[in-house]
Structure 1
Amino acid sequence: MRLLTVVCFTILIGFGLTVDHAQAKAKHLFKIASLAPDGSIWVTKFEDFTKEVSEKTGGEVGFRVYPGGVMGDDMAMYRKMRVGQLQGGGFTMTGMASVVPDFTVMSVPFLFNSYAETDAVRTSLMPDFREEFEKKGLELIAMTEVGFIYTMSTKPITTVSELQQSTSWIPSGDPLASAFLNSLDITPVQLTIPDVLSSLQTGLIDTVYNSLYGSIVLQWFTKARYVTDAPFAYAYGCFLLDKKKFDKLPKEYQDIIQESADRHFSDLIDATRKSNSDSRSVMSSRGVKFVEVEPETLQSLKNQHNLIIDQLKDNSFSDRIYQKTLKVLSDYRANQ
């Protein structure tokens, strides 16, 4: 058994070195960064994608992945792409708000009622998003998903008054979340995602917003142990490559990347939704309490959606992309 263990371990180590060596020797190497923690489904599924691309291109296209925010937040990653230190990344929609404002349209609070609706809108808007990213020298390879977002706090929150008395966090540079909370007379604390857990631990903030699975992988649930059981927004992201470097690839390799991405990132969205579903029981087993929101509170929050739209249009995203989003939603709902 000892000998078998040593042999297996040696094979695994050898395989890992072979993969790393192959990636390092790739003719076309893309250095990719992400805020997603190592070991999360976002990183493991992305690694499946990179292995397939490497195999199908005979090792000529490789990816070196830097997960867990080691290259900084979204804007730091984007700046590194601009100067050639990175050639791609996994970005949140918040991180891209100042680069491609229209990309944030799907995160309007209380816009969607189901994942089926998000799928319909995402499919319809992809050509628009791709065109806008191209103008910024970026190739939109795929969209990713965080999921529906919940309010999570160190104490129960079931009313607007309780939310106003808490200290809310929002991601730095998020115009939609800022406008929505400001409309409720709440001035949130803006922090980068890597700073949230320590800020919860020190008491700088006590209320955060995330998907159920996101709260687990980032360990926020260890401090924000009350979840207001009413999702209010949808969060997502994207996988981008530097367009100049992508365009230098042979057309065959471009097609391999896109075809592999279409398959693996579709699987990733399915896996993310399953993880969010499974996370409810995991969190409950770890002592997290899901609290019901009062109906009048929920209606009051939904009313804010209409109040802030005029403020958001043309400031956070264009009226054109918003109207197209509404049309897709209306058509989809009419056919259900």
Structure 2
Amino acid sequence: MRNKYNMISKSFFCIHVLTLVFLATAFTAGASYAQEAKYNLKLATLAPKGIGWAMEWENTLKPGIIKASNDEIAFKTYYGGIMGDEEDYIKKMRIRQLDAGAITGQGAVMACPELTVVELPFLFNNYDEVDFVRDKMYPVFDSYAQDHGFKLVYWFEQDFDQCYSMKYPLETMKDFQKARFVAWYGPLEKKFLDSLGASPVPVNGPEVPSALRQGIVDTVIAPSVWVVGSQTYTLFTHVNTLKVRYAPGLLVIASKTWDQLPPGHQKRIEATRSTSLRDFINNTRDANAKSLQAILKYGVKESQMSPAVREELKKRAMTSWDKASGEDFPEDVLDQIMELLEEFREGRS
């Protein structure tokens, strides 16, 4: 049995630094109060104030928007879930209690259900495919989001997610079938877990760390930066580093708020995608890579899955595509993405 106290003594510094740099250890209350401006927008996010994705918002995305508006836009940012969970954000934006939300993959598919398609298991093989599809499909999903009452200002990401388990090596199909998985991403995630014969347990997003510590669940699909920031890395014994799904994130503004901004501001804000958004995405990917290395250095073991089991898992997981297509997202959206992926892969080959 692993001696965690020895592992802590060897790796505490690495984990501690990453926790400070990438995410907070808990959802902490607080708001960033905007100075006087012509357009004062209220934005909510689950990200804790001061570090991690919140820092990228403060240092990269927000300054880009403010500059694009000639300092006429300011934000009051509610961090750490003090305005509720992402379902609450969606509801509050609809009734104008909030103007904007920086949301995870769960909230993304609430604001734009058609975007569920990009979370299909094993849809993308790498970042290059993601970037190609994002650039091509941005107008499509922006149009869908506006149909639901939101402007898709930025489509960023959580990154590719991995499977972390407190009990099982996650090296065989039986390991997956014995695990009690956190299920908080919506219908597609449940279909995916059902296709594996796993046991999905519904848990509200902010309650996931508590559910893990209480033993209500023992396995989670998550980005490594979340595992470090939530300090749940101390609970896990194994990580399967297979990139089971891509998880988007969004910055959305309520359409009624967006429509009140001058057209010039709107165009300049959209133009920042080529600079501010790219920096945000690159920093997120770097943070996740470093977090995963820190988790492995701490002593969480990397699962060793045979090629045969890997192919069986993928084959089973992809049966969820047919069940979700036409139900969780329009069939033609998946067709468009598959055509783009075929184009990209043929070009690469």
Do these two structures clear the TM 0.5 threshold for a shared fold by scoring above it?
A: yes
Cα drift, residue 122 of structure 1: 1.1
Q: Decide whether aligned partners of structure 1 residues 52 and 329 sit closer, same or farther in structure 2, where only a CA change above 3 A counts.
A: closer
Pair 1:313-2:337 in alignment: no
Q: For residue 8 of structure 1, what is the aligned residue in structure 2?
A: none
Pair 1:169-2:156 in alignment: no
C-alpha separation in 2, matches of 1:58 and 1:99: 28
Q: Give identity over the alignment, percent.
A: 30
Q: Is residue 150–residue 253 contact of structure 2 (8 Å, CA) maintained in 1?
A: yes
Q: Decide whether aligned partners of structure 1 residues 334 and 318 sit closer, same or farther in structure 2, where only a CA change above 3 A counts.
A: same
Cα drift, residue 36 of structure 1: 2.1
- Listed one character per residue, the Cα deviations across residues 2-49 of structure 1 (whole Å, up to 9, x for unaligned) are xxxxxxxxxxxxxxxxxx998242220111111223234321121123
Pair 1:241-2:253 in alignment: yes
Q: 1:83 aligns with which of 90, 95, 99?
A: 95
Q: Is residue 229–residue 292 contact of structure 1 (8 Å, CA) maintained in 2?
A: no
Q: Decide whether aligned partners of structure 1 residues 306 and 53 sit closer, same or farther in structure 2, where only a CA change above 3 A counts.
A: closer
Cα drift, residue 187 of structure 1: 3.0
Pair 1:94-2:99 in alignment: no
Greater CA drift, 191-200 or 288-297: 288-297
Q: Decide whether aligned partners of structure 1 residues 23 and 129 sit closer, same or farther in structure 2, where only a CA change above 3 A counts.
A: same
Q: Is residue 37–residue 218 contact of structure 1 (8 Å, CA) maintained in 2?
A: no
Q: Is residue 90–residue 240 contact of structure 1 (8 Å, CA) maintained in 2?
A: yes
* Matched residue type, 2:99: Q
Q: Decide whether aligned partners of structure 1 residues 214 and 116 sit closer, same or farther in structure 2, where only a CA change above 3 A counts.
A: same
Secondary structure of the structure 1 residue equivalent to 2:233: helix
C-alpha separation in 1, matches of 2:96 and 2:218: 38
Q: Is residue 164–residue 222 contact of structure 2 (8 Å, CA) maintained in 1?
A: yes
Residue segments in structure 1 that go unaligned for 5+ positions in a row: 1-19
Greater CA drift, 319-328 or 213-222: 213-222
Pair 1:39-2:46 in alignment: no
Q: For residue 15 of structure 1, what is the aligned residue in structure 2?
A: none
Q: Decide whether aligned partners of structure 1 residues 33 and 261 sit closer, same or farther in structure 2, where only a CA change above 3 A counts.
A: farther
Q: For residue 208 of structure 2, what is the aligned residue in structure 1?
A: 196
Cα drift, residue 270 of structure 1: 0.4
C-alpha separation in 2, matches of 1:328 and 1:262: 20
Greater CA drift, 195-204 or 241-250: 241-250
Greater CA drift, 44-53 or 67-76: 44-53
- Structure 2 length normalisation: TM-score? 0.85
> Which entry has the higher C-alpha Rg, 1 or 2?
1
Pair 1:220-2:232 in alignment: yes
Residue segments in structure 2 that go unaligned for 5+ positions in a row: 1-30
Pair 1:302-2:326 in alignment: no
Q: Decide whether aligned partners of structure 1 residues 52 and 110 sit closer, same or farther in structure 2, where only a CA change above 3 A counts.
A: closer
Q: For residue 17 of structure 1, what is the aligned residue in structure 2?
A: none
C-alpha separation in 1, matches of 2:317 and 2:32: 51
- Structure 1 length normalisation: TM-score? 0.88
Secondary structure of the structure 2 residue equivalent to 1:96: helix
C-alpha separation in 1, matches of 2:70 and 2:320: 51
Q: Decide whether aligned partners of structure 1 residues 53 and 147 sit closer, same or farther in structure 2, where only a CA change above 3 A counts.
A: closer
C-alpha separation in 2, matches of 1:144 and 1:192: 22
Q: For residue 40 of structure 2, what is the aligned residue in structure 1?
A: 29
